[in-house]
Structure 1
Amino acid sequence: MWAIELAVVLLFIWFGARMGSIGIGFAGGFGVLVLALVFQIPPGDMPIDVIMIIMAVIAAIAAMQEAGGLDYLVSIAERVLRANPKYITFLAPIVTYTMTLFAGTGHTAFSTLPVIAEVAKRAGVRPSRPLAIATVASQIAVTASPISAAVVFFAAELGKHGVDYIHLLLICIPSTFLAVMVGAFVTNFLGKELADDPIYQERLRKGQVSQVTEEEAARESSHAAKRSVLIFAITIFCVVAYAIGISPTVGLVAQPVLPVNNAIIAFMLTAASFITFFCKIEAKNILNVSTFKSGMSACVCVLGVAWLGTTFVAAHMEEIHMTAGNLLRSYPWLLSVVLFVASTLLYSQAATTRALMPVALTLGVSPLTAIASFAAVSALFVLPTYPTLIAAVEFDDTGTTRIGKYVFNHSFIIPGLVTIASAVVFASLFGRLFL
């Protein structure tokens, strides 16, 4: 019976993927309904903690966007990229990685992808190279961001096994960044040079490639925009400082009234309040910005998919313990493979972490192995239907960034595989150093 129920879970995930976007969340809830009413399986725990964190962080980021803060950050990124066009395959992922690390969501990459495509084309660099690795960098940086829902939830689970939030960041930040640089190095050799690409030459002859001029639009960021970024940056510093202060390693606060999860929510809503008040923006306008809409869509996706996953896992915990427990104890590296496959289907680092990491840790997987495998929850690039992947393809009018005939042979697959594999290796090494 469990095989039939698993098939039902996979069917609804596939159905949601076909609908795309928020549809995967809808399908997840539909799947829970079927498992409950048809198979008499009690619903699992809803991922309320993850959703609350996403909502609070997105509220602050959306307020910053309404104040012009995101445009200000993008203008800084533009100046960095345009000043060093020949090195864009390395600079582009650094920019998207940093923005995701700062914001806690990979959706910030949307704003820089057109700039990356334009600068690469002007420099004669094959745009698929920087676009592919920049997109992958924006995904894997979620597993290193101090305020991402995936990191905060995973840190809470690791805390039950003697590993705190600070140690997790000390391992994940350097390992993922170095992995992105390895991915950029490999990506720099992929595909023909732009001038030799036949598809580009054909599109050029047909006039389908826009001619880029050297003129840059001079955009003067307002004081409110800069103020909003400063408020958000101070808030992130306060979150990290608070987490350090209450961690058992430092022990400044022995019995904190406010746990880390609640602290992040409170700090982020406070940041949104300050940005709204001191930057003099209309609170009602925040509801209409793109970041708020995509963030609320992510909440529904996590709700449906993670709830569907926890419902199935909770119903078959005994079988999972018997089969997966022995397997993972004998071959702990398989956890990274499981997380990789799961995130390909769940389309969310937070949902994958919420659904599988607690199970892995209760099965006896060591914290070191779990942390080393953590980056594998970022395999959102495997199926070329994720929004940032589609956007990268659309922004590249040279035709070098493309989805292959056989679905999986697209521009993002090799950069993504190399980056995640490297991150697992680096995290294992840093884990032995810090744990």
Structure 2
Amino acid sequence: MLILEIAVVLVSIFLGARMGGIGIGYAGGLGVLVLCLFFGLKPGSVPIDVILIIMSVIAAIAAMQVAGGLDYMVSIAEKILRKNPKQITYLAPAVTYFMTLLAGTGHTAYATLPVIAEVAKEQGIRPSRPLGVAVVASQIAITASPISAAVVFFSGILEPLGVGYIELLAIVIPTTFAACMITAFVSNYLGKDLKDDPVYQDRMKKGLVKLRGENIVEIKKGAKLSVAIFCITIFSVVTYSTLISDKIGIITNPTLPRNEAIMVFMLACATLIVLFAKVDTSKIISASTFKSGMSACICVLGVAWLGTTFVDAHINEIKDFASTLLSQYPWLLAVTLFFASMLLYSQGATTKALMPAALALGVDPTTAIASFAAVSALFVLPTYPTLLAAVEMDDTGSTRIGKLVFNHPFIVPGVLAITLSVVFGFIVSGMIL
């Protein structure tokens, strides 16, 4: 029966991956249905907190986008990239990393990818180099963002073990950023130089490669104000979370717990943006960030629920099998998270499905935090939206998916960045905790 249940989980994930996008959430729900009705499993815990945090953060980001805030942020990013075009391979991941860190979602990278591709072409730099590491950085930064659902949930299950929210951020931010920057250095040497690439040469002869130059975007009147409100809100979230933490203890017995605080802070942020930036609320539900965020909620609902349903039903068997193994080889947790996230397509869903089980097995918090970046292996299968967007936006043909599917320009930067993040995580978490 166990083998059949595992088959149901894997088939559901495979089916969702084939459907693409929101389909992974649909198929996850189907898997839960089959496990409960035909195998008698009790439904696992629904990832309510993760979904609500995503919804509230996306609500604020979408309001900021309609107000012109994202265009303003992208215009700043474009100025930075064009001011130092020779350093595009380093600046591109730095830009996508910090935009994701600030927004709590990697979908903000969409707007910067065409800029990265254009600047690289203008300098004769192979666009796959900065694009590859930029996409990876936008995914790994989720595990360092103060308002991402993955970080907030992970922090919540670590606090009973004596690890606070600020301590978690103090470990994951420098380790993941350093890993991305070292990966950027290595990326400079990946693939042939653009001028020597036969695909690029062929596309040039056919007139398929074009330079559009700098993109001039009209910044709306309330754009800067919306960004300011959003940034102040994030600062307020981090400050409040620090004040109510057990380690600081300035606010004891808070009436508003951290998860709920993030939700209401973000909804309040959206309210202020709508009021002061004069946003038409009817346009918010049509914003690209709103659509992608709500799609992410369905994906997390389906796959995380599928994961917790299976894990909760077999937690004792998993403990017997994994506890000794993980105690001898703690780095195997990172490997497990890597392959799980490759299939689950969500940092939040992977964290929700596996991290509680790992900690229940007796995995040390130091090991769990060091391995946390491994939930970002969304780049392995070349079907993730930001990855596909990067391929589409590079008309030189250098950012292409090979015939073997896995031989694409994101695999080496992704594996290297996660490996370095985990290694640095073990070092830094050992120093701080």
Shift of 1:282: 1.3
**In the alignment, which residue of structure 2 is the partner of 1:34?**
34
Maintained 8 Å contact 2:143/2:373: yes
**Structure 1 length normalisation: TM-score?**
0.99
Q: Which residue is equivalent to 2:388?
A: 390
Q: Which residue of structure 1 lines up, in the alignment, with residue 22 of structure 2?
A: 22
1:234 is displaced (CA, Å) by 0.3
Query: For residues 105 and 280 of structure 2, what CA distance do their matches in structure 1 show?
Result: 24
Equivalence for 1:7: 7
Does the CA contact (< 8 Å) of 1:302 and 1:350 recur in 2? yes
Q: CA deviation at 1:222?
A: 2.9
**Aligned match for 1:355, one of 345, 349, 353:** 353
Determine the structure 2 residue equivalent to 1:208: 208
Query: In the alignment, what sits opposite 2:190?
Result: 190
Q: Which amino acid aligns with 1:298?
A: A
Residue 150 (structure 1) aligned with residue 176 (structure 2): no
Between the aligned partners of 1:306 and 1:242, the Cα distance in structure 2 is 28
Question: In structure 2, which of residues 393, 397, 400 is the aligned counterpart of residue 399 of structure 1?
Answer: 397
5+ residue gaps in structure 1?
A: none
1:366 aligns with 364
In the TM superposition, residue 177 of structure 1 has moved relative to its aligned partner by: 0.3
Alpha-carbon contact 1:113-1:131 (below 8 Å) kept: yes
- Out of 410, 430, 435, which is 2:428 matched to? 430
Q: Does structure 2 retain, via aligned residues, the 8 Å contact 1:343–1:352?
A: yes
The residue aligned with 1:127 is 127
Percent of residue pairs bearing the same amino acid type: 65
Aligned residue identity for 1:179: A
- 1:66–1:212 CA distance, 2 compared to 1 (3 A): closer
Worse-matched range after superposition: 366-375 or 422-431: 422-431
> Matches of 1:367 and 1:284 in 2, distance apart?
44
- Counterpart CA distance in 2 for 1:201 and 1:334 is 44
2: CA distance, partners of 1:317 / 1:432: 28
1:294 to 292, 296, 299: 292
Equivalent residue letter for 1:400: S
| Amino acid aligned to 2:342 | T
The structural deviation recorded for 1:211 is 3.4
**Structure 2 portions without partners, runs of 5+:** none
Q: Once the two structures are superposed, what CA deviation does each residue of 1:204-257 show, in whole Å capped at 9, x if it has no partner? A: 0011111344xx343342330000000000000000000110112211012111
Give the distance between the partners of 1:72 and 1:144, measured in 2 at CA. 23
Are 2:192 and 1:175 aligned? no
* Residue 241 of structure 2 is aligned to residue 243 of structure 1: yes
Retained in 1: the 8 A contact 2:22–2:296?
yes
C-alpha separation between the residues in 1 aligned to 2:179 and 2:152? 21
**1:164 positional shift:** 0.6
Say which is worse superposed, 322-331 or 396-405, in terms of deviation: 322-331
The farther-off stretch of 219-228 and 80-89 is: 219-228
Tell me what 1:111 maps to: 111
Q: Which amino acid aligns with 2:271?
A: S
Asked if the contact 2:165–2:245 (Cα under 8 Å) also holds between the matched residues in 1, the reply is yes
Mapped to 2, the partners of 1:56 and 1:327 lie a distance apart of 39
| Aligned twin of 1:50 | 50
Q: Does the CA-based 8 Å contact 1:122-1:212 persist in structure 2?
A: no
Please name the residue that 1:313 is paired with: 311
Q: Which amino acid aligns with 1:168?
A: L
Distance 2:335 2:217 in 1: 45
- Note the alpha carbon deviations across 1:143-176, whole angstroms, 9 max, x for none: 0000000000000000011101000000000000
Aligned partner of 1:252 in structure 2 is: 250
The equivalent residue for 1:376 is 374
Q: Paired residue for 1:335?
A: 333
Distance 1:94 1:211 in 2: 23
Distance 2:181 2:171 in 1: 16
SS of residue paired to 1:235? helix
Cα pair 1:47 1:303 within 8 Å, conserved: yes
CA contact (8 A) 1:176 1:375 kept: yes
1:260-275 equivalences in 2 (<5 Å): 260-275=258-273
Measure, in 2, the Cα distance between the counterparts of 1:219 and 1:315. 53
- Displacement after TM superposition at 1:40 (Å): 1.1
| Distance in 2, Cα, partners of 1:160 & 1:279 | 41
1:79 — aligned with what?
A: 79
CA–CA separation in structure 1 for the residues paired with 2:218 and 2:14: 45
Q: Which moved more, 1:141-150 or 1:284-293?
A: 284-293
Secondary structure of the corresponding residue to residue 223 of structure 1: coil
Mapped contact 2:209–2:395 kept (Cα < 8 A): yes
User: Match of 1:434, as an amino acid?
Assistant: I
**For the residues of structure 1 that align with 2:348 and 2:210, how far apart are their CA atoms?**
38
Displacement of 1:197 after TM fit? 0.7
Tell me the SS of whatever aligns to 1:38. helix
For residues 211 and 304 of structure 1, the distance between their equivalents in structure 2, rounded to whole angstroms, comes to: 42
Determine the C-alpha separation between the residues in 1 that align with 2:143 and 2:215: 34
1:60 alignment partner AA: A
For residues 318 and 222 of structure 1, what CA distance do their matches in structure 2 show? 57
User: How big is each residue's C-alpha offset from its partner over 1:270-289, in whole Å with a ceiling of 9 and x where there is no partner?
Assistant: 00000011111111211110
Per the TM alignment, residue 433 of structure 1 is displaced from its structure 2 partner at its CA by 1.6
Q: CA RMSD in A?
A: 0.8
Amino acid at match of 2:38: V
Q: Displaced runs of 4+ in structure 1, greater than 6 A?
A: none
What is the CA deviation profile of residues 114-134 of structure 1, one whole-angstrom value per residue up to 9, with x for unaligned ones?
000000000100000000000
Secondary structure at 2:222's aligned position in 1?
helix
Could you tell which deviates more after superposition, 221-230 or 114-123?
221-230
Taking the aligned partners of 1:73 and 1:349, their CA distance within structure 2 comes to: 24
- Whether the aligned pair in 1 keeps the contact of 2:121 and 2:211 (CA below 8 Å) is no
